[in-house]
Chain A
Amino acid sequence: MHRPWFPATLFLLVLLGTGCARVAFEDSAQLPPIVPDYAGVTVPEGMAALSFEMADGRPFRVERRRDGDTLFFSVRAWDRKTRRGVRYAPFKVYVSQDPIDPYIAYRLIEPSYEGWKEMGLYTRELATFREHPIVTNRDNRGGCVNCHHFPSGDPSRMMFHARGAGGGTVFLEGDDARLINLTTVGPRKQGVYPAWHPSGRYIAFSSNATHQSFPIYGHQQVEVYDQSSDLILMDLQTDSVSVRPSVCGDARMETFPAWSPDGSELYFCVADSLSDVVDNRSRVHYRLEAIAFRDGQFDGDPYPVWQCDTLSVSFPRVNGKWMLFTAAAYGTFPIWHPEADLYLMDLETGEAAPAEALNSLESDSYHSWSSNGRWLLFSSRRLDGRYTRLYIAHFDGEGHFSKPFLLPQKRYSHNVLRLKSYNVPEFVKGDPGRHSRAVSRLFAQ
């Protein structure tokens, strides 16, 4: 049987195959230049797969192999034009058996300026790439939703602020949702940064008069500052708000409350009030103080915990005898400060030092400890200097962090293509997404 198409097809296939053939690999002793840099990171067991790409965009293939608690990633990459390939030295990823809280919660918002279009509080399952909203500002007619918080990572209880007309602070418990406008009770101060007492009964809030300014040139495009701030305490049993003059006055600005694990102390940041804060912003240095808490009340006067004349402290978070905080050169809003770094403090010795393994040249800021204290979730702008992304690092309990890894996405490019920043990341021990119905019902009312 004469089949003239057969040799022709065969010839074409051979030609095609030859054209597509990638030249034999060159072996390289170097690690592959990938983004994000996952080489040598420590991940928890069951984490969603790490996805990455070549920094220069070359096509690549990866082979994964596990040996005990170590994953080996062998990467081969090709040049698009010459089709020459390089086989890089395999890089390792360590798997820790320390469990991690299965969910995280964060806000997604454009890192723009005064206004916004869409924002929402979202939850993400760490074992998968599933992300879903807890509440978006479509629910509250385009208003702002912020400062979400869970008591010790308990997903059954949650609070957040809903700003705008008819707004207030939303408290969620099981299927119940209620909204309280804190400015209508007690000292008539609005709540901003929350800290839920370990007993679950109290929440300490800072109450901040926050403003923004925009430098006319330079890398830093926004400066956020407080003109005043105080601490207030809410009792969830009586829905009452109280203040204590030693942490609520005009002479000082108190902010960023954080409880000690046993709830006997409240740590916070404090700076002396200044007139014309914008022009004097280089002089605004927040220090760490604490005040005792007994029988549902602050007890005594605040006492100093840590200070440095050239650094300004924010977001203290306690994990046993360790405290992690953010330090910037000045000011109260480190996310816009490229020099902002995370510092680890030993509360027993009172010594603090930069957590070198975590920090980058861009802002490294808001952080949250996992419920067992072995993992740290923090936000960083190291990818592009503007869009905050989430990183996770393992903590050995002895003052050492492993190299942090970027929260994996199905494709790395999602981190580049997403036009929103991650805000206020928190570990959660379960799925808080079930609150979304209660919130929708509440706002519909």
Chain B
Amino acid sequence: MRKAVIPVLLLLGVFLVSWLCQPFTLICQEYEGLFLATPDAWARAFAQPFPLSGILSDFLIQFYRDPVYGALITAVIVALVFLLLRGILSRRGLPVTDTLSALGAGVLWFFLARSPEPKPAVAALLILLGLWLLSLLLPVRKGKAWRADLPVAAALVLAAAAGTVFSPAVQRTERFSRVKRDALYGVWDDLLKAVPPSVAEKDGELTPFALLALSAKGQLGEKMFSYPVYSENDLDMCDYDGNAEYYTSLLFKAALYQHLGCYNEAVHNYCQWATQLRKGTGFIVLRKLVEMYCLLGDYTLMEKYCRVLDHSLLHRSYVKYYRAQAAQGEAHATEPAAVRSVIPVISHDPLYNLLQLESAGIHAASSADRTLATILLRGNPAQLRSVLERLGPSYERIPKHFQEAMVFYGIRSGNVDASVVERYSAFVEDLQLLTDEQLIERYRDTAFIYLQYAL
């Protein structure tokens, strides 16, 4: 009974912490994982360093799609590591077997919670399994257990749990994973809950995702300046610096263009994003390609990716669903060369892209908001005026921040609320009276501050 305390505590603790505090981290590990029973995948699996642990890790990661299974697998790995360590140490007659084993398992848990895949933990498990088997050959030494062995071991487990629950790194990974899931699947309310303005203030990388969620909900023109917006990049993530930002930028653009209905560009960015993943692609990319090609009516390519996914363990119903969709859909015919040669192309300029999409008749409800927001953030009054003249009539009421920009620039292309005019008058008066800090504090949720200071 006494022997079962720590393993049970570990099993329960790791399971609950992983399930309750890291569900999206586990889901995103499955997103970026890949386990396919195809010749190329096997060849690659055996070519990697430590192939056995790599293959086992890739196999297990498939189940992380449901975080309950992911948490359970994590818990079992950590508990097994404890049991193996204790099995090895107890044969040497050490008085602190539970303490040392809990320390080992706790350290493993600490790293596993921060690792993008379970491979290192699986490798540790396999090594310990080998050592335990070897230890069976050694004579058993008897020793007296330290009285405090069990309580200290339990304390170590609790410390490891606290270290995971309260770790800023773990929390940040979990938040980013949640944002990733919400953006990829358009769960905008959840995304906004995960990234309130206070969070975006600390982690600016999340601002474009929050603004994407706002634009999807038709609130960009009303609430964008409640978030810390310092440049156009906070809206469209067109510039990036370094590999981590490149990864995030590609993910963001894939989600953005999917939301805008520009599936060609979404495919482009999903494929680019795939090159940043450990295996050159991942389950999520393959699933997204299936979805995009289904929407594009390219059922031949869709079927290819379905067939690839069919060589994994848990995609049977997914593939069946999309095959049924294809059976009911109408395949898109290839355009003649003369038509293709005049199709507009995507550029590195997000505004140009939005205008091209609009002219091609591809627009989401949020396209007009994003177009106006981009022009506002560039501080181009002439372009704002001309686009407002075109897009303004589509609004029942022009959103607040665009009205603020109209008042700021003196544009009279649409109705402006009296409250906006009053606030601007107060802003102009306060410009003379308040310090910059006071002004920013008072008007931070308006376009006035951005237009006055950021440009």
User: Which residues of A lie under 8 Å from residue B39 when comparing CB positions?
Assistant: 410, 414, 417-418
Interface contact B265-A216, CB-CB below 8 Å: yes
B328 beta carbon closer than 8 Å to chain A: no
Interface contact A223-B345, CB-CB below 8 Å: yes
| Residue of B with least CB distance to A420 | B40
| Residue of A with least CB distance to B273 | A115
Interface contact A416-B360, CB-CB below 8 Å: no
Interface positions, chain B 280-337, Cβ under 8 Å from A, are: 280-281, 298, 300-301, 303-304, 307-308, 311, 332-337
**A329 with B337: in contact, given A216-B344, A223-B345 (CB under 8 Å)?**
yes
Interface positions, chain A 314-337, Cβ under 8 Å from B, are: 328-330, 337
Number of interface residues of A (CB under 8 A): 41
A434 beta carbon closer than 8 Å to chain B: no
Interface contact B342-A217, CB-CB below 8 Å: no
| Residue of A with least CB distance to B270 | A112
A-contact 0/1 string along B263-285, CB 8 Å cutoff: 11101100110111101110000
Interface contact B332-A385, CB-CB below 8 Å: no
**A215 with B264: in contact, given A385-B301, A420-B40 (CB under 8 Å)?**
yes
| Bound: A330/B346 CA distance, A | 19
Interface contact B308-A417, CB-CB below 8 Å: yes
| Residue of B with least CB distance to A213 | B345
Interface positions, chain A 274-304, Cβ under 8 Å from B, are: 278, 281-282
A312 to chain B, nearest CB (A): 10
**A278 with B345: in contact, given A217-B264, A219-B334, A385-B298 (CB under 8 Å)?**
yes
| Bound: A384/B305 CA distance, A | 11
| Bound: A24/B99 CA distance, A | 71
B452 beta carbon closer than 8 Å to chain A: no
| Bound: A414/B455 CA distance, A | 55
A5 beta carbon closer than 8 Å to chain B: no
B339 beta carbon closer than 8 Å to chain A: yes
B382 to chain A, nearest CB (A): 24
**A219 with B298: in contact, given A112-B274, A113-B272, A214-B265 (CB under 8 Å)?**
yes
B341 beta carbon closer than 8 Å to chain A: yes
At the interface, is chain A mostly helix, strand, loop or mixed? Answer: loop
User: Which residues of A lie under 8 Å from residue B360 when comparing CB positions?
Assistant: 216-217
B28 beta carbon closer than 8 Å to chain A: no
| Bound: A213/B353 CA distance, A | 12
User: Which residues of A lie under 8 Å from residue B36 when comparing CB positions?
Assistant: 417
Interface contact B362-A217, CB-CB below 8 Å: yes
| Bound: A417/B40 CA distance, A | 8
Interface positions, chain A 412-428, Cβ under 8 Å from B, are: 413-414, 416-420
Interface contact A216-B334, CB-CB below 8 Å: no
User: Which residues of B lie under 8 Å from residue A218 when comparing CB positions?
Assistant: 264, 335, 339-340, 343
B340 to chain A, nearest CB (A): 5
Partner of A384, one of B272, B280, B304: B304
B262 beta carbon closer than 8 Å to chain A: yes
| Bound: A417/B43 CA distance, A | 13
| Bound: A287/B267 CA distance, A | 33
B433 beta carbon closer than 8 Å to chain A: no
**A112 with B301: in contact, given A118-B280, A218-B343 (CB under 8 Å)?**
no
A78 to chain B, nearest CB (A): 21
| Bound: A414/B333 CA distance, A | 27
User: Which residues of A lie under 8 Å from residue B362 when comparing CB positions?
Assistant: 216-217
User: Which residues of A lie under 8 Å from residue B298 when comparing CB positions?
Assistant: 219, 385
Interface positions, chain A 91-119, Cβ under 8 Å from B, are: 110, 112-118
| Bound: A90/B49 CA distance, A | 48
User: Which residues of B lie under 8 Å from residue A155 when comparing CB positions?
Assistant: none
A387 beta carbon closer than 8 Å to chain B: yes
A235 beta carbon closer than 8 Å to chain B: no
User: Which residues of B lie under 8 Å from residue A416 when comparing CB positions?
Assistant: 304, 307-308
| Residue of B with least CB distance to A284 | B341
Interface contact A215-B340, CB-CB below 8 Å: yes
Partner of A282, one of B263, B267, B338: B338
Of B263, B304, B339, chain A has the most CB atoms within 10 Å of the CB of B304
Interface contact A221-B268, CB-CB below 8 Å: yes
User: Which residues of A lie under 8 Å from residue B357 when comparing CB positions?
Assistant: 216
User: Which residues of A lie under 8 Å from residue B337 when comparing CB positions?
Assistant: 282, 328-330, 337, 339
Q: Given A216-B264, A216-B346, A385-B300, 12 more contacts at CB 8 Å? A: A112-B272, A116-B280, A117-B279, A117-B281, A213-B347, A215-B344, A216-B345, A217-B264, A217-B343, A219-B333, A414-B39, A418-B40
A contact set with B: CB distance below 8 Å: 110, 112-118, 213-223, 278, 281-282, 328-330, 337-339, 361, 384-387, 410, 413-414, 416-420
Q: Report 11 cross-chain contacts, Cβ distance below 8 Å, ordered by A residue.
A: A110-B275, A213-B345, A214-B265, A215-B264, A218-B339, A218-B340, A221-B264, A221-B268, A329-B338, A410-B39, A417-B307
B contact set with A: CB distance below 8 Å: 36, 38-40, 262-265, 267-268, 271-272, 274-277, 279-281, 298, 300-301, 303-304, 307-308, 311, 332-347, 353, 356-357, 360, 362
